[in-house]
Chain A
Amino acid sequence: DAGVTQSPTHLIKTRGQQVTLRCSPKSGHDTVSWYQQALGQGPQFIFQYYEEEERQRGNFPDRFSGHQFPNYSSELNVNALLLGDSALYLCASRPDRVSYEQYFGPGTRLTVT
């Protein structure tokens, strides 16, 4: 049983560009959350998707948007990239109404130059 997978592993972008990160949840999980982990910090909640809708959002600007597909996979989009967006982006999944324990993927390392 594959766990949470994310792609790409690493990404380098230039300021002002746009980026899309992808996540496939663990089998049987229908809820996907995204977190941003800056270097030396704990992960910060960006948003959570369930039934293809954004269910809850953290304190992130509208430049951060997402999508969930019918197969429960998800994308995180960041527009107008800033140097401060450089971080490890983590995806986490869980089965809704069964457990709030979240399983994390390995992350995508985004570097903005």
Chain B
Amino acid sequence: GDSVTQMEGPVTLSEEAFLTINCTYTATGYPSLFWYVQYPGEGLQLLLKATKADDKGSNKGFEATYRKETTSFHLEKGSVQVSDSAVYFCALIDRNTGNQFYFGTGTSLTVIP
């Protein structure tokens, strides 16, 4: 079945450091890939998405490229800020059905000044 594996955390970085959070997936159909962010006490917010192979999603300085050959969708940001501290979830959905998201377990990021 479909699944997502995420880099385990927690991750602690200094402000302005480079961020990478690894995500790999297994899918039987044609997945679209997403990164969601969850701030303390809140629900999930869509950060970025990519619908097909080689697409690059980007938002707020974050980016991720859909790599079919390595089944990966790693999240990167060149210079993190304290306000980026949150939990990040990688997710996929099968474009054929569009009904069910499969989420990774989440990676907690703390950015210190």
The reply to whether the CB of A107 lies closer than 8 angstroms to some CB of chain B is: yes
Q: How far, in angstroms, from A103 to B36 measured CA to CA in the complex? A: 10
Q: Are A42 and B43 in contact, with the CB atoms below 8 A?
A: no
Complex: how many Å from CA A41 to CA B49?
21
- Which interface class (under 10, 10 to 19, 20 to 34, 35 or more) fits B? 20 to 34
CB distance from A48 to the nearest CB of B (A): 5
- Number of A-B residue pairs having CB atoms within 8 Å of each other in the complex: 56
Contact B100–A90 (Cβ < 8 Å): no
Asked whether, in the complex, the Cβ of A102 is within 8 Å of the Cβ of B43, the reply is no
Q: A9's closest neighbor in chain B, by CB?
A: B41
Query: Are B44 and A104 closer than 8 Å at their CB atoms?
Result: yes
Which of the 9-residue segments B13-21, B67-75, B76-84, B102-110 touches chain A? B102-110
Report which of A45, A90, A101, A106 forms a contact with B46, defined as CB distance below 8 A: A101
A40-B106, A48-B100 as given contacts; A90 in contact with B49, CB under 8 Å: no
Which residues of B lie under 8 Å from residue A56 when comparing CB positions? 97, 99-100
Size class of A's contact patch? 20 to 34
- The answer to whether A41 touches B46 (Cβ under 8 A) is no
**A33-B99, A100-B32, A100-B98 as given contacts; A43 in contact with B49, CB under 8 Å:** no
Residues of A whose CB lies within 8 Å of any CB of B are 4, 33, 35, 40-45, 48, 55-56, 58, 90, 92, 94, 100-107
23 A-B residue pairs with CB within 8 Å? A4-B43, A33-B101, A41-B105, A41-B106, A42-B4, A42-B89, A42-B91, A42-B104, A42-B105, A43-B89, A43-B101, A45-B100, A48-B99, A58-B100, A90-B43, A92-B44, A94-B98, A100-B32, A101-B49, A103-B46, A104-B36, A106-B42, A107-B43
